[in-house]
Amino acid sequence: MKLTKIAGACLGALALALPAGAGADSDKKDHVKTYNAKGIYAGEGVVTVEKGNAAVKKAGWKGQDITFDFSQAEIRTEDNNADEQETLEDVAVGSPVRVKARLPKGDPGAGPYVAQRLDDKSGDSDDDDEDDDTGIS
């Protein structure tokens, strides 16, 4: 009998500790998707998208000038202006870039879109990922 009371008390405490709706499905609009776009940097946060993942294609970005907010983004580029910082000012207009953004799934809404990262690919010898070490030339 004592064990039953202890188990009941533990289950009751656990039920109070869980947030309301923890087991329920969350709202579909709260889901986010990674948008990976490759294109040409046009300046002022604008990228002319040439290709991308399925999310980019579904959003209709291919062939479009898309405006991104890079204010909080990680910028991966060479320090071209020798100020000892890798910033958006180091990315030249016309440079090939890759942009990563986490946006709502399905309809990302209206831009400018907040980007997580911009990779300047102008210094790369090829357009493939730097992780590609297959040894095939």
Q: Give pLDDT tens digits for 118-136.
A: 999 987 755 444 444 434 4
Select, from the ranges 75-79, 101-105, 109-113, the one with the highest average predicted confidence (pLDDT): 101-105
pLDDT category of residue 78 using cuts at 50, 70 and 90: confident
**Could you give the CA distance from residue 52 to residue 115 in angstroms, rounded to a whole number?**
14
Q: Is the pLDDT of residue 39 over 50?
A: yes
**What does CATH list as the number for 28-120?**
2.40.50
pTM of the full structure: 0.66
Q: Provide the residue type at 55 as one letter.
A: A
State the first-to-last Cα distance of the chain, in angstroms, to the nearest integer.
74
Going from N- to C-terminal start, the domains of the chain cover: 28-120
Are 101 and 113 in contact by the 8 Å Cβ rule? The answer is yes
